[in-house]
Amino acid sequence: MTTVLKFTTAAFCVSLLAACSNESTTNTKTTAAPNSSTSQKELIIATESSFKPFSYLDKQGQLVGFEIDLANALCKQMQADCQIVSQDWDSLIPSLNANKSDAIMAGMSITEERLNAVDFSEPYFDNTLVLIGKKDNTATINDIAGKAVATQQATVSAEYLQKHYPDANIKTYDKQDNAYLDLTAGRVEFMLSDVVPATDWLATEAGSEFEIKGMPIDIGDKVGIAVRKDSSLKADFDAALASLKTNGKYDEIVAKYFNSQALGQ
């Protein structure tokens, strides 16, 4: 039986209300079967392209990643013509509610605050948070008072720091990549991040001198597809996601992007 992913780091040795889009990069168009009763359904799915391995730009400037493949599979299952576009993180929800997109797949956590503005599908993975720091630094999350800690703005990581560690010197960034840059340059001492992109970055040359500090932080964070309030697309996405889990396509996409160590299996 396929269950919602829960990302942990037991074997480690791994988004918000926002402001309007001024950037749109088309990556993929999934075309429905021509004889389908829903083949005329055309959807724009928005993402944010600096969240590897979920959604990011490859060397050719094309959108790739777990959420891109999952979005394409969902559209095929729904027999919908879909276009996937990249937007700034802060623009995602305002653009959705301004009818500039039809759905958001961008590692977006289902929170009470966001539920006041949008609806969400059933979750497609569960998330934990991790603190990253230099390997020679023995501090954990309980030692960050007065320390410079990076996180992406308007995310559950930022909210968690502000709520539980207000004495830390919290520095927020528009993109995950910019937080990594300041971490490697020594302008911040730590970074709080979702577990999977953190693990992915730690495996790169840039992340080779860093590690996860302490245990993963389980805040019950679930990620889903955001749609406008009372949109029928919620039910469409829920049904398509359930079908992908039943027919094995969901597990196939997961296996492409996440190894067993990253999933804590």
262 in any annotated domain: no
Residue 222 has pLDDT above 60, yes or no: yes
Distance between CA atoms of 262 and 265, rounded to whole angstroms? 8
Torsion sign, CA atoms 170, 5, 73, 227: negative
Range in 36-45, 166-175, 181-190 the model is least confident about: 36-45
Q: What is the pLDDT of residues 112-156, one digit of tens each?
A: 999 999 999 999 988 899 999 999 999 999 999 999 999 999 999
For the full predicted model, state whether its pTM sits above 0.85.
no
| pLDDT of 125 | 87
Residues 133 and 204 in one domain: yes
Domain that holds residue 174: 128-219
- H-assigned helices in 108-211: 112-115, 156-164, 176-185, 195-202
Residues 230 and 114 in one domain: yes
The number of domains in the chain is 2
Q: How many CA atoms lie within 13 A of 248 on its CB side?
A: 0
14 in any annotated domain: no
